[in-house]
């Protein structure tokens, strides 16, 4: 069976630390895939807040986001009480989208890698639009450029 195989990036620009809750555990007694994606969402939300934007206000009042794709590679089981560091990096910024790369670690062990494609979206119009300049500027400012 062929698989999409993600690679760790050389560095990540943001870190979020979360603890695995009992409600994150599935029937196999480890972190469920839906809950892992929820943890990625929380980390992305915290990163966006650090940038001064949100998923419903991507640098402009009426511009939200839509996830256009998601790839996840699971490497190790994660259990209740584990502390997970989620490292994020925004890359591949084009006129109409960007990617967020995630590395989930328990201590020094990488437990999962993931990436999401994101496009700016005006929900009221059901229309994707170019990445707002204010978002690009927020990212540049965060990076010290």
Report how far apart, in Å, the C-alpha atoms of 117 and of each of 55, 69, 96, 102 are: 13, 5, 11, 12
Instruction: Count Cβ neighbours within 10 Å for each residue of 86-95 and write b for 16 or more, e otherwise.
Output: bbbbbeeeee
E strand or H helix that includes residue 40: helix 33-51
Report how far apart, in Å, the C-alpha atoms of 100 and of each of 22, 27, 119 are: 27, 29, 11
Per-residue pLDDT of the chain (145 residues), as tens digits, is 788 999 999 999 999 999 999 999 999 999 999 999 999 999 999 999 999 999 999 987 889 999 999 999 999 999 999 999 999 999 999 999 999 999 999 999 999 999 999 999 999 899 999 999 999 999 999 999 8
Would the pTM count as exceeding 0.85?
Answer: yes
Catalogue all structural domains in the chain, each as residue range(s) with its CATH number: 14-142 (3.10.129.10)
44 near 89, Cβ under 8 Å? Answer: no
| 143's tokens | 């990076």
């Amino acid at each position: 069976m062929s698989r999409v195989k993600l690679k760790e990036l050389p560095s990540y620009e943001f870190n979020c630390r979360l603890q695995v809750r009992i409600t994150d555990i599935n029937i196999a007694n480890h972190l469920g895939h839906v809950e892992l994606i929820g943890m990625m969402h929380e980390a992305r939300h915290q990163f966006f807040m650090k940038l001064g934007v949100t998923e419903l206000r991507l640098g402009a009042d009426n511009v939200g986001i839509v996830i256009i794709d998601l790839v996840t590679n699971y490497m190790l089981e994660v259990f209740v009480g584990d502390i997970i560091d989620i490292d994020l990096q925004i890359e591949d910024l084009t006129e109409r989208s960007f990617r967020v790369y995630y590395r989930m670690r328990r201590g020094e062990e990488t437990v999962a890698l993931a990436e999401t494609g994101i496009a700016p979206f005006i929900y009221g119009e059901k229309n994707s639009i170019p990445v707002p300049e204010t978002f690009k500027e927020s990212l540049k400012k965060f990076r010290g450029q």
